């Protein structure tokens, strides 16, 4: 049995230029091309396109595709795709269709060249179209501001579309050499390990006992050979724990509490959209591209604030993703917590005879407070070895 096929094609087509001579020639050529420093979101899209995660896209979407994807999750040619992949700017200057341009990285000092782009169109979205996309992609609650919508609109309304060739992976490869992996690399490693059934777990936080047990649960119920813990390494919101600390905590957990050759710790370079249901679908697409057959979607997946219902990110797969659009399967998870009655972690929906007091439930805020004071959360909540890494991090903030 071969690995699951990527989305939209038989083979993975990463847009990174792996041939070193060609890469060097393009770097040289790019120095003489008109250039723009792109937004962080555009740079993250380039990294994902480069690594094969956004297969089968060949570059940034034009206006018609972006609006079609926002409204109905498919491009004008009929490819299923959950969110527009755009290069938005405030002003394109003299750039027009037919020009070749260099895209510069906003996240590295000196703005090195990230990619070369052949511009097919330069178009402007109206305010009404930006509002429509904000509404359709993010589905924000009218009661509070949405950080994803704000970040989306801050980029500008001018859309530069066309194919790209990616020349480097921004800061991710250098800052996270042990963790950052392209979809190509993960696919290869899954094949090398001989895994056939593979479940992926998305995280932007350290993993506590409930997350760990959820992964064990999914592996057991799905009869998986392996687990890919796939952590977001890009821009987060204020107060989130930085990637190197999360990485250390997760690696310690895997080393001590997972059998050998059962879990891979990896990361990807992308900025969090906080788009809830639509982002959950995007997460599923690129997990299929990296070779996972199953993907865990839990409560309030990729959510923020009170914008989404607890299970909106699961419902979208049943109600809005057309049958057969994706090959990857979703493992739907409820909130997991330690049951004092059963002395183990359970899915709360599977313990109907429990009341709230039967579970060890701690809010993220409460846990951060405890760790900040050097207090280890209860063993029913966090592994002591993991807690220690986080305590050391919070202590370092005081210096």
Please give the tally of structural domains in the chain: 2
* Lowest mean pLDDT, pick from 142-151, 154-163, 299-308: 299-308
* Whether pLDDT at 398 is above 90: no
Cβ proximity of 59 and 42 under 8 Å: no
Quick one: 169 and 202 in the same domain? Answer: no
In a domain, 31, yes or no: yes
Q: 214-253 pLDDT, tens per residue?
A: 999 999 999 999 999 999 998 666 677 888 899 999 999 9
Who has greater pLDDT, 239 or 261?
261
pLDDT of residue 303: 87
Q: What is the span of the domain harbouring residue 195?
A: 177-398
The pTM of the whole model exceeds 0.85: yes
Which letter, b or e, does each residue of 238-273 get, where b requires 16 or more Cβ atoms within 10 Å of its Cβ? eeebebebbbbbbbbbbeebbeeebbbbbbbbbbbb
* Whether pLDDT at 49 is above 90: yes
In a domain, 15, yes or no: no
Quick one: 34 and 69 in the same domain? Answer: yes
Alpha helices in the chain (DSSP H): 20-31, 40-50, 63-72, 127-138, 147-154, 172-175, 183-193, 209-222, 243-257, 276-289, 312-319, 364-372, 384-398
DSSP assignment letter at 267: E
Domain boundary among 126, 147, 173: 173
Quick one: 131 and 262 in the same domain? Answer: no
Domain boundary among 140, 173, 206: 173
- The CATH number linked to 212 is 3.40.50.620
* Whether pLDDT at 131 is above 60: yes
| Average pLDDT of the residues in 189-199 | 97
What is the side-by-side order of every strand in the sheet holding 329-332? 263-268, 226-232, 198-203, 294-297, 329-332
DSSP assignment letter at 350: G
In a domain, 4, yes or no: no
Q: Which of 100, 204, 251, 368 is catalytic?
A: 204
Instruction: Measure the CA–CA gap between 188 and 312, rounded to whole angstroms.
Output: 33
Q: Is 383 a catalytic residue?
A: no
pLDDT of residue 368: 84
Quick one: 147 and 245 in the same domain? Answer: no
Query: What are 330's strand-pairing partners?
Result: 295
In a domain, 313, yes or no: yes
Quick one: 256 and 375 in the same domain? Answer: yes
Cβ proximity of 383 and 256 under 8 Å: yes
Instruction: Measure the CA–CA gap between 333 and 140, rounded to whole angstroms.
Output: 23
Domain boundary among 173, 192, 225: 173
Who has greater pLDDT, 303 or 37?
37
Query: What are 116's strand-pairing partners?
Result: 102, 165
Quick one: 200 and 157 in the same domain? Answer: no
Quick one: 236 and 153 in the same domain? Answer: no
* Whether pLDDT at 105 is above 60: yes
Quick one: 169 and 194 in the same domain? Answer: no
In a domain, 6, yes or no: no
Instruction: Measure the CA–CA gap between 397 and 399, rounded to whole angstroms.
Output: 6
- The CATH number linked to 100 is 3.10.400.10
Q: Is 205 a catalytic residue?
A: yes
Residues in the chain: 399
Quick one: 165 and 307 in the same domain? Answer: no
In a domain, 3, yes or no: no
Average pLDDT, the chain: 95
In a domain, 158, yes or no: yes
* Whether pLDDT at 300 is above 90: no
pLDDT of residue 1: 56
Quick one: 159 and 201 in the same domain? Answer: no
pLDDT of residue 194: 96
Quick one: 188 and 104 in the same domain? Answer: no
* Whether pLDDT at 330 is above 90: yes
pLDDT of residue 261: 93
Q: Which of 13, 111, 188, 205 is catalytic?
A: 205
In a domain, 1, yes or no: no
Quick one: 169 and 181 in the same domain? Answer: no
């Amino acid at each position: 049995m071969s690995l699951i096929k990527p989305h939209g094609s038989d083979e993975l087509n990463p847009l990174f230029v792996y041939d070193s001579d060609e890469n060097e020639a393009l770097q040289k050529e790019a120095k003489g091309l008109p250039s723009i420093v792109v937004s962080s979101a555009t740079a993250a899209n380039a990294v994902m396109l480069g690594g094969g995660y956004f297969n089968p896209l060949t570059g940034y979407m034009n206006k018609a595709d972006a609006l079609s994807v926002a409204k109905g999750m498919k491009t004008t040619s009929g490819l299923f795709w959950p969110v527009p992949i755009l290069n938005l700017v405030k002003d394109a200057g003299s750039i027009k269709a037919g020009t070749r341009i260099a895209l510069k990285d906003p996240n590295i000092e000196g703005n090195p060249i990230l990619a070369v782009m052949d511009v097919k169109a330069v178009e402007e979205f109206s305010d009404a179209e930006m509002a429509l996309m904000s509404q359709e992609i993010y589905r924000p609650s009218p009661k509070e501001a949405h950080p994803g919508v704000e970040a989306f609109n801050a980029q500008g309304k001018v859309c530069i579309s066309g194919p790209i060739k990616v020349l480097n992976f921004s800061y991710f490869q250098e800052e996270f050499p042990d963790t950052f992996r392209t979809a190509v690399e993960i696919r290869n490693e899954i094949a090398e390990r001989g895994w056939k059934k593979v479940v992926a777990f998305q995280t932007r936080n350290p993993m506590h006992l409930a997350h760990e047990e959820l992964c064990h649960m999914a592996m057991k119920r799905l009869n998986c050979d392996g687990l890919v813990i796939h952590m977001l390494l890009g821009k987060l919101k204020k107060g989130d724990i930085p990637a190197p600390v999360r990485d250390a905590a997760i690696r310690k957990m895997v080393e001590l509490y997972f059998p050998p050759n059962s879990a891979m710790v990896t990361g990807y370079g992308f900025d969090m959209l906080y788009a809830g249901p639509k982002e959950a679908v995007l997460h599923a697409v690129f997990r299929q591209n990296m070779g996972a057959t199953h993907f865990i979607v839990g409560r309030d997946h990729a959510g923020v604030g009170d914008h989404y219902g607890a299970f909106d990110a699961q419902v979208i797969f049943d109600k809005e993703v057309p049958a057969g659009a994706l090959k990857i399967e979703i493992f739907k998870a409820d909130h997991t917590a330690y049951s004092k009655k059963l002395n183990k972690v359970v899915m709360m929906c599977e313990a109907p005879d429990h009341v709230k007091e039967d579970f060890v439930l701690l809010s993220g805020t409460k846990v951060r407070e405890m760790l900040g004071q050097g207090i280890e959360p209860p063993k029913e909540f966090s592994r002591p070895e993991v807690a220690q890494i986080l305590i050391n991090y919070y202590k370092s903030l005081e210096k």
